[in-house]
């Protein structure tokens, strides 16, 4: 199973559209995960129309229309891999312990908000993944997103993609 993991697209505030490399990955993916801050309903509708399967949540910049259509936390079983998605996890300091306590029953937790790519494993808890942002790099050298695979209930081949390299 091929995954695309993205967040903080902020359309159309930060860009008019998603970058071509992300669209190509979406078109090839079995599942697209979006960790919030879509900003516009059109962004949700466009991604939903192109994704084979979309798992998404709302973020702090998403208004009532998006919040009516998306949960704060999403959970899915992807071929035996227990996935959760949330926008915010709080400050970087102590993140692993907080997330392990809040999500003890998941294998992977995808989050956004910071626009900073993150890949760690909480002791006794989930693998934590933040894809950064494909449209608003903030203080990062590149805009980014992630791809990964799921095989036999295990996450593998996690790759950070830099846009504009």
User: How do residues 66-119 score in pLDDT, each as one tens digit?
Assistant: 999 999 999 999 999 999 999 999 999 999 999 999 999 999 999 999 999 999
Query: Which alpha helices (H) appear in the chain, and where do they start and end?
Result: 20-28, 41-50, 64-69, 95-102
Please determine, for residue 133, whether its predicted confidence score (pLDDT) is greater than 60. yes
Taking the CB of residue 98, how many other CB atoms lie within 10 A of it?
A: 15
Please determine, for residue 54, whether its predicted confidence score (pLDDT) is greater than 70. yes
Q: Residues 156, 33, 39, 19: is their CA dihedral positive or negative?
A: positive
Cα–Cα dist 80/72, whole Å = 22
Identify whether the C-beta of residue 84 lies closer than 8 Å to the C-beta of residue 103.
Answer: yes
Q: How many CA atoms lie within 13 A of 99 on its CB side?
A: 33
Please determine, for residue 15, whether its predicted confidence score (pLDDT) is greater than 90. no
> What is the CATH T-level fold of the domain 2-163, as seen in this structure?
Purple Acid Phosphatase; chain A, domain 2 (3.60.21)
Residue-level pLDDT at 14 = 81
Residue-level pLDDT at 165 = 57
Please determine, for residue 149, whether its predicted confidence score (pLDDT) is greater than 90. yes
Please determine, for residue 120, whether its predicted confidence score (pLDDT) is greater than 70. yes
User: What average pLDDT is seen over the chain?
Assistant: 95
């Amino acid at each position: 199973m091929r995954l695309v993991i993205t967040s903080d697209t902020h359309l159309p505030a930060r860009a008019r559209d998603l970058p071509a490399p992300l669209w190509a990955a979406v078109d090839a993916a079995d599942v697209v995960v979006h960790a919030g801050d879509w900003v516009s309903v059109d962004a949700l509708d466009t991604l939903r129309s192109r994704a084979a399967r979309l798992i998404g949540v709302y973020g702090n910049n998403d208004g009532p229309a998006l919040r009516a259509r998306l949960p704060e936390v999403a959970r899915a079983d992807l071929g035996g891999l227990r996935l959760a998605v949330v926008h915010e996890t709080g400050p970087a300091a102590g993140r692993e312990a907080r997330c392990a306590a809040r999500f003890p029953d998941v294998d992977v937790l995808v989050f956004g908000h910071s626009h900073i790519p993150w890949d760690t494993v909480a002791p006794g808890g989930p693998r934590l993944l933040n894809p950064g942002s494909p449209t608003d790099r903030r203080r990062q050298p590149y805009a980014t997103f992630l791809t990964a695979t799921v095989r036999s209930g295990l996450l593998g081949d996690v790759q950070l993609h830099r846009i504009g390299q």
